[in-house]
Amino acid sequence: MRIIMIILMLVSLNIEYGKEKKVEYNELNEAEKRVIEDKGTEAPFTGKYWDNFQDGVYKCKRCSSDLYRSQNKFSSNCGWPSFDDEIQGAVKRQIDADGRRTEIICANCGAHLGHVFTGEGYTDKNTRHCVNSISMVFEPIQQEETAYVAGGCFWGVEYYLEELEGVISAESGYMGGKVDDPNYYQVGSGQTGHAETVRVIFDPEKTTYEDIIRKFFEIHDPTQFNKQGPDHGKQYRSAIFYNDEKQRETAQDMINILKEKGYNIVTELLPAKEFWLAENYHQDYYQKKGGQPYCHRQIKRFD
């Protein structure tokens, strides 16, 4: 009987897993359908975004998923918007119908975006996403600032900081080590020197760097050295990586407040180095898997 129940449960899980995710589509006009659905191409120098360099995010016209950030856009003088990188996991590559080029489509809804080329030498990444303006919608960001914090497993830190009003995004990655572009297993070995770090992009008109640091100190234990909860190792150390002297002073002021309250703070205060984005399965981990962080919880430490 137990075996039968297990088999039924596995079948049920497979059926559920095999269900296609429902994607809501925005209404398209005929010109948009010709490019997005029929894989056409708009004429060069006619799209609204080919020469747009305002700060912001480029979203899919059909499903509104984030595709590209403005900091990855560059001028190639080809007549179409050019990017040297996409938001991780946002774009899929496949062989074009002509059998030669590489087509790029929205990973969420399959909308045709354009083509990707390599080896042209425009930027250090040596990649050019040539995208039709009509396939995208641009959402400007008036202002944004960045904070880098490490406090144990980045899943929990990312989870709690994303809750803060004014936070545009929180991404898991690695910072503070000696190896370029490390992967999770290299960092986990403790040999690279990296800390599991969260990059927080926020709107300074809605929240402040001090707010970010205050919450950071209240969602992890800054008195634990090279560990956090059940996770042990230098990669789980508590650290703040500051971008400038103003951020350093703010972070130091917060540390001083906690020390005056009797906390033995071990948080490192270091200049920011190269941030390496972690693998896609680490991003928004708890939103994908469900549940709550197991080694982080919010404790009020400031008045």
Beta strands in 119-262 (DSSP E): 127-131, 136-140, 145-151, 167-175, 195-202, 227-228, 231-232, 238-242
Beta-carbon contacts of 191 under 8 Å, excluding residues fewer than 6 positions away, are none
pLDDT at 289: 78
The alpha-carbon radius of gyration of the chain (Å, integer) is 22
Cα–Cα distance, 173 to 108 (Å, whole number):
23
pLDDT at 295: 77
pLDDT at 11: 43
Residue 174: which of 255, 287, 247, 282 has the closest Cα?
A: 282
pLDDT at 4: 42
Instruction: Calculate the CA dihedral of residues 116, 122, 124, 127 and round it to 10 degrees.
Output: 0
Q: Where does residue 115 fall: left (phi above 0), alpha (psi -120 to 50 degrees), or beta otherwise?
A: beta
Q: Are strands 268-271 and 227-228 parallel, antiparallel or unpaired?
A: unpaired
60, 109, 130, 295: the active-site residue: 130
pLDDT at 102: 97
* pTM for this entry: 0.57
Residue 109 among the catalytic residues: no
Residue 295 among the catalytic residues: no
Beta-carbon contacts of 193 under 8 Å, excluding residues fewer than 6 positions away, are 176, 177, 178, 179, 234
60, 106, 109, 153: the active-site residue: 153
Cα–Cα distance, 59 to 135 (Å, whole number):
8
10-residue stretch averages of pLDDT, the chain, 303 residues long: 41 42 84 97 96 93 96 95 96 95 97 97 96 96 88 92 92 95 93 95 93 96 92 94 97 96 96 93 83 80 84
**Domains assigned to the chain:** 30-140 (2.170.150.20), 145-289 (3.30.1060.10)
Spatial contact of 95 and 119, defined as CB atoms under 8 Å apart:
no
Q: Are strands 238-242 and 268-271 parallel, antiparallel or unpaired?
A: parallel
pLDDT at 142: 66
Q: Where does residue 262 fall: left (phi above 0), alpha (psi -120 to 50 degrees), or beta otherwise?
A: left
